[in-house]
Amino acid sequence: MRASLRLSALPLAFLASVLVAPGLAEAHILQGAAGGFGSGFEHPLTGADHFLAMFAVGLWGAQMGGRSVWTLPVTFPLIMVLGGVLGISGFLLPGIEIGIALSLVGLGLAVACAWKPPEWTALALISVFAICHGYAHGAELPSAADPADYAIGFVLATGLIHLLGIGVGLALHRPFHGRIARALGFLITLGGGYFLASA
């Protein structure tokens, strides 16, 4: 029982450390030229706002269960590509930083409340958030040394973060009736509040 409790506390401690390290949140518009695959892969892992949003998508999908375990994490990067195209094209989409912060608040609350809406509702919600995240990174691609490699690295890292969220969500589904997963959602919501105040 004690070992199980310690293992269950690991994800909570990890996310708490991410939230209290604002230095990890990188600027969305890169300064100068970015590298290729490595820079794209690294960016979602070092930007706390993006990391937590993508983690929350996997966590929420696992919490909802059924097809949502895979439909939410698959839909998010697909729609994110559309947002990226808008960013690359120079299309003006105001309020992106606020949209990204609100994605943390919304996804965090969904997990914290163990909200299980119809699948189409969840997909529509994460699609709006994915547009914001994709747009922010699409605006970076023209300045990258190798935009195609950057995009591949970024999408791969996004998928891995989704898988992490799914794994943690499935692992925490039963212990303490899912309360630890819901606590993670609450922490993500707090992170969203921090980024919203900074936007």
Q: What is the DSSP string of 35-100?
A: -SHHHHHHHHHH-HHHHHHHHHHHHHHHHH-TTHHHHHHHHHHHHHHHHHHHHHHT-----HHHHH
Residue 74, pLDDT above cutoff 50 = yes
Size (the chain), residues: 199
Around 54, how many Cα atoms within 13 Å sit in the side-chain half-sphere? 28
CA angle 127, 53, 48 (to 5 degrees): 145
For the ranges 4-8, 89-93, 120-124, 161-165, the lowest mean pLDDT is seen at 4-8
Around 23, how many Cα atoms within 13 Å sit in the side-chain half-sphere? 2
Q: What is the pLDDT of residues 93-134, one digit of tens each?
A: 899 999 999 999 999 999 999 999 999 999 999 999 999 998
Q: Give which of 184, 158, 160, 159 is closest to 171, Cα–Cα.
A: 184
Q: What's residue 25's pLDDT? A: 38
Enter the tokens of residue 38. 């490595």
Enter the tokens of residue 6. 């310690």
Band (pLDDT 50/70/90 cuts) for residue 20 is: very low
Element (H, E) at 25: none
Mean pLDDT, rounded, for 62-67 = 95
Q: What's residue 61's pLDDT? A: 96
Q: What's residue 3's pLDDT? A: 41
Can you point out the beta strands (E) in 90-145?
none
Gap between the Cα atoms of 75 and 61, Å rounded = 11
